[in-house]
Structure 1
Amino acid sequence: MAYESGALNAALSAAVGNDPDLVAELRGAFLESAARQIDLLGRARCDANWHFAALRLKSLAASFSVQGIVDLADQALEGAPGDPVVLRELAHAMRDFGDMNGPTP
C-alpha cells in the first residue's frame, strides 16, 4: 500500500498548500489516530466495539483520501471482532506508511 502514502500526501498538500511543517504535522496526526483505531480494533471483544472502531477508522481514512484503509475498514465492518486477516492487513498498511519519510510537497 505504499501508493496510499502518496494519496495522503496529495490530500494534505491540497488542503494546506506548500507548508511542509503543517503537512508533516497533519500526517502525524493521521497516523496516530489511525494507529489508535487499529489498536482498538485489536482489543475489541464485542461486535459493538469492533464496529465503532472500524467506523471511526473508515471516517478518518476517508477524510484524508486514503482509499486502501477505507477498504480495509469496510472489510472489518463485514467481519467479526478480532478478524486476524483484517488486523494483519491494517498492520501491514501502517508499516508501509511508517516506512515513508513523510511528504515532499
Structure 2
Amino acid sequence: MAFENAAFAATLSAAAGDDPVLLAELRGAFRESLAQQIDLLRRARCDGNWLIAAQRIKGLAATFHADELIGLAQGAIDAAPGDPVALRGLDAFLADFDKVAVG
C-alpha cells in the first residue's frame, strides 16, 4: 500500500498556499492526530470506544480528503474491537504517510 492521494495533497496545498512551514505543520498535525486515534483504537476494549476512535479517524480523513484512509476507517467501524486486519491497514497507512512525509 503506497500513500498516494492527490486530493489530500491538493487540500494541504490549498490550505498552506506557498508557505512550506505551514504545509509541514499541517502534515504534522494530521500525522499526530491520526497516530493518537490509532493508539486509542488499539487500546479500545469495548464497542463504544472502538467506534468513537474509528469515527474520529474517518472524520479526520474526510476533513483532509484522504480517500484511502476513509475506506480504512470505515473498515474499522464495521469491524469488531481489536480487529487485527483493521489495525494493520491503519498502521500501514501511517507508515506509508511517514515515508512520503520524510522523502
SS of equivalent residue, structure 2 residue 65: coil
Write the letter of the residue equivalent to 2:55: L
TM-score, normalization: structure 1? 0.90
Aligned length: 102
1:97 matches 2:97: yes
Deviations 1:20-77 (A, max 9, x none): 1101101000000000000111010100000000011100111001011111110111
Superposition pairs of residues 59-70 of structure 1, within 5 angstroms: 59-70=59-70
Alignment correspondent of 2:8: 8
SS of equivalent residue, structure 1 residue 80: coil
**RMSD (Å) for aligned C-alpha atoms:** 1.5
Task: State the distance in 2 between where 1:15 and 1:102 align.
Answer: 20
Once the two structures are TM-superposed, the CA of residue 102 in structure 1 deviates from its matched residue by 5.4
Aligned partners of 1:9 and 1:23 also within 8 Å: no
User: Which runs of 5 or more structure 1 residues have no equivalent in the other structure?
Assistant: none
Aligned partners of 1:24 and 1:102 also within 8 Å: no
Once the two structures are TM-superposed, the CA of residue 15 in structure 1 deviates from its matched residue by 1.8
Q: What fraction of aligned residue pairs are identical, expressed as a percent?
A: 53
TM-score, normalization: structure 2? 0.92
Segments ≥4 residues shifted beyond 2 Å = 6-9
Task: State the distance in 2 between where 1:8 and 1:78 align.
Answer: 24
SS of equivalent residue, structure 1 residue 101: helix
Write the letter of the residue equivalent to 1:22: L
User: Which protein, 1 or 2, shows the higher relative CO under an 8 Å CA cutoff with sep ≥ 6?
Assistant: 1
User: Which runs of 5 or more structure 2 residues have no equivalent in the other structure?
Assistant: none
